[in-house]
Amino acid sequence: MTARIIDGKALAAVVREEVAEGVAALVAGGVPAPELAVILIGEDPASRVYVSNKVRQTEAVGMRSRRYLLGSDATERSLLELIEELNRDLAVNGILVQFPLPPHMDIARVVTAIRPDKDVDGFNPLNVGRIAAGMEGALVPCTPLGVMRLIKSVHQDIAGLGALVVGASNVVGRPMARLLLQELCTVSIAHIRTTDLERRCREADILVVATGVPGLIRGRFVKPGATVIDVGITRVASASGVDKLVGDVAFDEALEVAGAITPVPGGVGPMTIACLLANTLSAARMEAARRKAVEAETAV
Ligand code: NAD
């Protein structure tokens, strides 16, 4: 059996199209185009590329963007002050602080400082809690949100399926598991101290892997017919001397066993930025609805 390859690039294009239509509808209704503010601290070249891609794609769907570049010696206080200014700025719908942060900054303090309704990365504890409690109105972290779209491109209904998430980070693994639970999958989470990973993987109808360990999941780990989503991205030197990106799944082996599988690159990666755009639109829609409700109240 050869698995269906899930085309993340094509699905991301669909999401961007949906966002562009949503933005056009908001603007046609008299609401200003949504605006995303992206903050980058330091000169990490990979982060610079990510930020440029985010800004370019934001503008391509008709939204506005701002970019703030802080030096690697910027203080945490100066970052928190900038976030506070953007929290108060009525023109800004989404605030994103590009990770990784420099070591002298505290991630928890930074994500907590972002107003929950502008938290397009979904890392503010209020959004984390809303997702954990299955409450409406949360902004969901972009990568797990994109993975859910990828899974739903294969399965109409995932209720009752067994899902294993390998990796338990706050950015991917934990929110991923909560979203799968919300869809009534029977969910397990594996991590660095999990024993007998192979057996646990073989029981999963849906296997989502986010560890950053290239080739961790071998073909024999995969349940025949399972849907395999490879979130991992690691840059490795290839024989040709040009760096290449590899995932956490031994793709060629898993391809022979799985029912559907995402490639690396071209799977989860493109969906992550597309979902950032979708979150910025969601934030703008929620803000527009709030303002309308206030206007209606004051008109009475
Ligand atoms: P992280 O380092 O914060 O967490 C890794 C998790 O994997 C931890 O919970 C750890 O316990 C687990 N782990 C590590 N080795 C393991 C092993 N041998 N067996 C089982 N579990 C193991 O990483 P992260 O931020 O969650 O990112 C994971 C990977 O996903 C990285 O390659 C990252 O680049 C990639 N990523 C991709 C996207 C995307 O858009 N495609 C987004 C975020 C992260």
Task: Categorise residue 148: left if φ over 0, alpha if ψ from -120 to 50, beta otherwise.
Answer: alpha
How many Cα atoms are found within 13 Å in the side-chain-facing hemisphere of 112? 7
* Active site residues per annotation: 54, 98, 121
Q: What is the number of other CB atoms lying within 10 angstroms of the CB of residue 86?
A: 21
Our answer on whether the CB atom of 172 is closer than 6 Å to any ligand 1 atom is: yes
pLDDT at residue number 147: 98
Give 61-119 pLDDT, tens digit per residue: 999 999 999 999 999 999 999 999 999 999 999 999 999 999 999 999 999 999 999 99
Q: Is 48 helix (H, G, I), strand (E, B) or coil?
A: helix
* Among the listed residues 209, 137, 147, 153, the one whose alpha carbon sits nearest the alpha carbon of residue 180: 147
Our answer on whether the CB atom of 262 is closer than 6 Å to any ligand 1 atom is: no
Which residue among 231, 244, 268, 272 has the greatest number of ligand 1 atoms within 8 angstroms of its CB, and so is best to mutate? 231
* Among the listed residues 53, 56, 93, 51, the one whose alpha carbon sits nearest the alpha carbon of residue 68: 51
How many whole angstroms from its chain centre is CA 27? 25
- Whether residue 219 is predicted with pLDDT greater than 90 in this model: the reply is yes
Q: What is the CA radius of gyration of the chain?
A: 20
Structural domains in the chain? 30-115 (3.40.50.10860), 142-268 (3.40.50.720)
The contacts of residue 266 (CB under 8 Å, 6+ apart) are 7, 8, 9
CA pseudo-torsion sign 209, 211, 215, 220: negative
Give 104-125 pLDDT, tens digit per residue: 999 999 999 999 999 999 999 9
Residue nearest to atom 31 of ligand 1 (CA): 212
